[in-house]
Structure 1
């Protein structure tokens, strides 16, 4: 994990801060650049999924996917 965090830090995507409650620990937060990258990656995945569903599914299948996504959202937020 330390190598991953160091690589992200060197890339300007995260920064470390001392944990005020425990001096032995460090808190890792996204930088502005890291947030932009995360949002861009998420948008790309969403666009890919939407395109794949449009290309491969008929109307009934799309409705079923939308219904299941709603159920999953309910479960995740309960």
Structure 2
């Protein structure tokens, strides 16, 4: 909803994670982009998730189960190609 989005963007703006600018084509709208700090935060979060996933695969799955997941991923990738 617009009200909750405005609050979310306000908080991100206060933290210096986004930059807002007027839309040159529509004065009622704003263009929102990530700042360098915002990009760094996104990249840091992505890295943490990737590390968690790698540890979870290693700790919770057997070698055979990991191979099954990799095979399934290859099949899904093939399915998504045109």
In 1, the alpha carbon distance for the partners of 2:15 and 2:44 equals: 16
CA RMSD of aligned residues (A): 1.7
Structure whose CA Rg is larger:
2
Uncovered stretches (5+) of structure 2, i.e. residues with no partner: none
Deviation of 1:67 after TM superposition, in Å, equals: 2.3
Deviation of 1:74 after TM superposition, in Å, equals: 4.6
Q: TM-score, normalised by structure 1?
A: 0.87
Q: TM-score, normalised by structure 2?
A: 0.84
1:30 equivalenced with 2:34 (yes/no):
yes
In 2, the alpha carbon distance for the partners of 1:4 and 1:60 equals: 43
Runs of 4+, deviation exceeding 6 Å: none
Uncovered stretches (5+) of structure 1, i.e. residues with no partner: none
Taking a change above 3 Å as real, the CA distance of residues 21 and 9 of structure 1, as seen in their structure-2 partners, is same
